[in-house]
A and B are shown apart, each in its own frame.
Chain A
């Protein structure tokens, strides 16, 4: 704190002490304020040089969503780069504000504030500000676009016709069906069986085909860094390549009604070989059920029975009362039980 309140107005000693005993003037009569600049910039450089590596190397590796898939790792890296870019900006504002609050508070013997045209605008500073923020924004845009395109859409839902795909041509499609209020998964490459447990192989590019039977849900695999809205009547594709074994959480991330908060389940990443055997075993185990499911399709439309009955593949007249595609009216005996008993 400067000691101007005591009334001592000693000449400033070389501009190093935070003396505010009066505007220093250069030989041509202009108010000299370069020492303020140097103090603020110096402090800012030091603080940024400390804060950025501290964050990047200490906190950075632990930033969600972790590194369980390539897109999760990309999101983590991207978040860290944004923090590294944001910290100096925030520090600049805070240090400047702190400096102003400490040094330029009103006091009886303090210096008079500057006025007039000098205080009203400063074209070099304004230009620098605009150029700098524009350059920063354009850099972030380029970086974000690269990070979006390069890993195949960064795990976001790309709608029915994705334009950024994984490098690998060997993509495993898994259908994700959202409905109030649960997730189910169908594996078209394994006979289209349906399960409530999401199991994926590691080091395999996976295409999540997300759709909904009723309202808009959002398929959020937190650890895999995948998020795609489940829209009724739309096939929304998101890509991810798991690279670590483990379990993960699937949550609904779009408000979908009463039990939205309880709409989650779990899944796991298995080794590819283990996944193969799991899928084949499950296909056999569920074969009895699978044949009564609607034929696999990219989207489904609930039939006239709505929540009471089944659903059928799209492109079927929704007003048809004849074809029920395996769905039954409430109270009717299941056609399946008859056939299986014979």
Chain B
């Protein structure tokens, strides 16, 4: 495409109204693709899939001997997802392109309807993701309450063993699905273009697609409950997986669907970060949160395909009776374990790294100091991402794999604690002789450091094979990863929300309620999960519904704290709804006095983020440095030709010194609000 004559061409960036198209409002909004059509498509696809599946496999002996036809269940879910995606309009653009027609440009919209549609605005997608992640989180949280209710007593039961296992499995799976997008989805999509000075994402349609397929994954995994649940936990070890009832298909299809969304989101963010940085945004000036997202996208793109393949083989085993995971017929139960954990361990760092990024990003703002050892932090996260592909067999230490592997994987697992420990080097170094403001996000940062220290150190215990013999598969493991994921990622996420929601929503959240939320969250989180270390060490395996009588006290402490922990989330919901919708107070443009580029935009952030592409002059962490340059010059002359600008700022980063000195504004287009 010619780059110099943009004015004569079609829409050069999403949102621009060009004369050739643009019969705005000719069709009612409700007739355009939106979530209603997605639901219609999903339901239609479901019944179509059931019909086709019954047609194919209805008379197979395996379908007649069991209550449910797995082929039709898998088809129903797959066509349901396809119908959902078609209904939301994610397929419209590629299909029209293939037919040789030019799709109509997406118009900017300020109506609330945009939140229920496929959109090309990364800020809308970010808020959609936020609501989606919270829905995921609270559904999984309710299941956690059910688990802790059952474990109140060692022998009297609220649920039957089958229901209990189904609840445990659903909780674990939903939380893993949620946590893999918990930060990348809402904050990653919302913040990354603003932080790197870009007007757009590299692939806005793929970004919107990643959100809507994430929600499709939510619906698919929810169908597991009416289908009878699945008894395998989130690890789904074969051959238990192979013999499970049709709820298992929801796990296999749902995780693959979520995985497609993870890959899509990862590709989009990686391409955006690499190619769409503003002039002057060199790699040494990229905010550390963006570094953490970049490291995470590498894991999303490279690890998730393994999960999709593993789930596909599992679906084949369950539907057309292949034997990839069935030892008796020539397969191997180890195949699933290896494939699953080859995805599963990088997945752990998909969940951990963005949390590091948030904490390291917020720390300088509230200490009024530069980020200590910025390069070490970035290198550490890249190192974690690399090493995370070489540690998966520590989940199989007791599984009967080749014992030669054990010292090797003990070494790699303990080595990964070195770059992980850089989190503490960086944050503690930033605290040195600082001027700490104990605002709510800072409290969450400190809470995260406290929790993650415990979670990380217990991880070293688990990597030590002789100790792992005792604690493997026990509540010790369970407490460990709740300390890293909930104590690390979710604490960081909520800190980040309190920090960035004033920018995202334009409203101030009530700080008193926020502090109450933090303290209840922090105290009851630790009271819930610390006793579980002891419970595990004292011999209670995971995922059991009965346990020894002498462990009741510890379990009850944990259960009661868990209920209070659940109540603490309600404070957040109340605060969010009250402060944003019921009694909104307009947020100042830069409430935390931050140097970050994302705070230099107007509030609410305009449709196209920056009126002009800013020219970045320094990194965003030069606090308490007299004479430090501003982070960016928002009014700097634009770079290159207008045509180059039509792709956001794909000219790439340049050093400020090499900028052409061109006075005057070369970007004549008005900002579109």
Query: Is A201's beta carbon under 8 Å from chain B?
Result: no
Task: List which B529-562 residues lie within 8 A (CB) of chain A.
Answer: 537-539, 541-547
Query: Is A241's beta carbon under 8 Å from chain B?
Result: no
Within the assembled complex, what's the spacing in Å between the Cα atoms of A133 and B237? 35
Query: Is B372's beta carbon under 8 Å from chain A?
Result: yes
Closest A residue to B421 by beta carbon equals A133
Query: Is A63's beta carbon under 8 Å from chain B?
Result: yes
Closest B residue to A210 by beta carbon equals B400
* Segment with Cβ contacts to B, from A44-52, A104-112, A274-282, A329-337: A104-112
A145 → chain B, closest Cβ, in Å? 5
B476 → chain A, closest Cβ, in Å? 10
Asked if A145 contacts B418 (CB within 8 A), the reply is no
A-B pair count, CB < 8 Å, reads: 287
Task: List which A56-106 residues lie within 8 A (CB) of chain B.
Answer: 63-65, 71-72, 74-75, 78-79, 82, 86, 89-90, 93-94, 96-97, 100-101, 104-106
Asked if B239 contacts A214 (CB within 8 A), the reply is yes
Which one of A104, A134, A260 has the highest number of Cβ atoms from chain B below 10 Å of its Cβ?
Answer: A260
Given A101-B446, A104-B431: A93 in contact with B469 (beta carbons within 8 A): no
Within the assembled complex, what's the spacing in Å between the Cα atoms of A164 and B403? 9
Asked if A93 contacts B625 (CB within 8 A), the reply is no
Task: List which A140-196 residues lie within 8 A (CB) of chain B.
Answer: 140-141, 144-145, 147-149, 151, 153-160, 162-164
Asked if A79 contacts B461 (CB within 8 A), the reply is yes
Query: Is A218's beta carbon under 8 Å from chain B?
Result: yes
Asked if A255 contacts B165 (CB within 8 A), the reply is yes
Query: Is B470's beta carbon under 8 Å from chain A?
Result: yes
Query: Is B30's beta carbon under 8 Å from chain A?
Result: no
Closest A residue to B534 by beta carbon equals A64
Closest A residue to B621 by beta carbon equals A120
* Segment with Cβ contacts to B, from A5-13, A225-233, A286-294, A320-328: A225-233
A251: which B residues are within 8 A, CB to CB? 539, 541
B472: which A residues are within 8 A, CB to CB? 227, 253
Query: Is B404's beta carbon under 8 Å from chain A?
Result: yes
The number of residues on chain B lying at the interface, defined by a beta carbon within 8 Å of a beta carbon of chain A, is 94
Within the assembled complex, what's the spacing in Å between the Cα atoms of A113 and B369? 7
Partner of B401, one of A94, A159, A226, A257: A159
Query: Is A340's beta carbon under 8 Å from chain B?
Result: no
Query: Is A318's beta carbon under 8 Å from chain B?
Result: yes
Partner of B417, one of A119, A125, A137: A137
Query: Is A2's beta carbon under 8 Å from chain B?
Result: no
Task: List which B302-344 residues lie within 8 A (CB) of chain A.
Answer: 327-329, 333-334
Given A126-B376, A234-B400, A236-B400: A148 in contact with B461 (beta carbons within 8 A): no
A93 → chain B, closest Cβ, in Å? 5
Asked if A129 contacts B425 (CB within 8 A), the reply is yes
With A119-B432, A155-B466, A160-B400 already in contact, 15 other A-B pairs whose C-beta atoms are closer than 8 Å: A100-B431, A101-B436, A114-B432, A115-B622, A115-B624, A116-B370, A121-B373, A125-B429, A129-B421, A144-B407, A159-B401, A222-B470, A253-B542, A255-B543, A258-B162
Asked if B623 contacts A231 (CB within 8 A), the reply is no
Partner of B544, one of A105, A233, A260: A260
Secondary structure dominating the interface of A: mixed
B424: which A residues are within 8 A, CB to CB? 93
Asked if B467 contacts A78 (CB within 8 A), the reply is yes
Binary CB contact string for chain A from 222 to 262 against chain B (1 if under 8 A, 0 otherwise): 10011111011110100000000000010111111111111
Query: Is A36's beta carbon under 8 Å from chain B?
Result: yes
Given A137-B418, A159-B401: A104 in contact with B544 (beta carbons within 8 A): no
Asked if A255 contacts B464 (CB within 8 A), the reply is no
A8 → chain B, closest Cβ, in Å? 19
Query: Is A33's beta carbon under 8 Å from chain B?
Result: yes
Given A100-B432, A114-B433: A119 in contact with B466 (beta carbons within 8 A): no
Within the assembled complex, what's the spacing in Å between the Cα atoms of A258 and B467? 28
Please give the residue numbers on chain B whose beta carbons come within 8 Å of chain A beta carbons, in ascending order. 161-162, 164-165, 231-233, 235, 237-240, 243-244, 327-329, 333-334, 367-376, 397-404, 406-407, 410-411, 414-415, 417-418, 421, 424-425, 428-429, 431-438, 446, 449-450, 453-454, 457, 460-461, 463-470, 472-474, 537-539, 541-547, 621-626, 628
Given A159-B403, A255-B542, A318-B328: A115 in contact with B369 (beta carbons within 8 A): yes
Within the assembled complex, what's the spacing in Å between the Cα atoms of A116 and B397? 47
11 contacts between A and B (CB under 8 A): A78-B464, A115-B626, A121-B375, A126-B425, A215-B237, A216-B238, A227-B472, A255-B231, A257-B165, A302-B328, A318-B328
Query: Is A295's beta carbon under 8 Å from chain B?
Result: no
Closest B residue to A237 by beta carbon equals B400
Asked if B232 contacts A114 (CB within 8 A), the reply is no
Asked if B374 contacts A75 (CB within 8 A), the reply is no
Within the assembled complex, what's the spacing in Å between the Cα atoms of A121 and B425? 11
Asked if A220 contacts B410 (CB within 8 A), the reply is no
Asked if B231 contacts A86 (CB within 8 A), the reply is no
Query: Is A122's beta carbon under 8 Å from chain B?
Result: yes
Asked if A261 contacts B546 (CB within 8 A), the reply is yes
Partner of A130, one of B418, B623, B626: B418
B469: which A residues are within 8 A, CB to CB? 71, 75, 154-156, 225-227
Asked if A229 contacts B464 (CB within 8 A), the reply is no
Within the assembled complex, what's the spacing in Å between the Cα atoms of A162 and B371? 50
Given A141-B410, A216-B237, A231-B400: A82 in contact with B467 (beta carbons within 8 A): yes
B564 → chain A, closest Cβ, in Å? 24
Asked if A255 contacts B546 (CB within 8 A), the reply is no
Asked if A261 contacts B414 (CB within 8 A), the reply is no
Query: Is A301's beta carbon under 8 Å from chain B?
Result: yes
B527 → chain A, closest Cβ, in Å? 18
Asked if A153 contacts B435 (CB within 8 A), the reply is no
Within the assembled complex, what's the spacing in Å between the Cα atoms of A141 and B407? 8
B210 → chain A, closest Cβ, in Å? 31
Asked if A258 contacts B231 (CB within 8 A), the reply is yes
**Closest 3 CB pairs between A and B?**
A115-B624, A261-B544, A236-B400
Partner of A231, one of B327, B432, B537, B628: B327
Within the assembled complex, what's the spacing in Å between the Cα atoms of A129 and B420? 12
B602 → chain A, closest Cβ, in Å? 28
Asked if B403 contacts A119 (CB within 8 A), the reply is no
Asked if B466 contacts A148 (CB within 8 A), the reply is yes
A9 → chain B, closest Cβ, in Å? 16
Within the assembled complex, what's the spacing in Å between the Cα atoms of A232 and B41? 42
A214: which B residues are within 8 A, CB to CB? 239, 243
Within the assembled complex, what's the spacing in Å between the Cα atoms of A222 and B432? 45
Asked if B473 contacts A233 (CB within 8 A), the reply is no
Partner of A255, one of B233, B429, B538: B233
Asked if B473 contacts A218 (CB within 8 A), the reply is yes
Which one of A36, A147, A148 has the highest number of Cβ atoms from chain B below 10 Å of its Cβ?
Answer: A148
A254: which B residues are within 8 A, CB to CB? 237, 473
Within the assembled complex, what's the spacing in Å between the Cα atoms of A301 and B398? 22
Closest A residue to B453 by beta carbon equals A93
Asked if A120 contacts B399 (CB within 8 A), the reply is no
B329: which A residues are within 8 A, CB to CB? 318
A194 → chain B, closest Cβ, in Å? 21
A93: which B residues are within 8 A, CB to CB? 424, 428, 449, 453
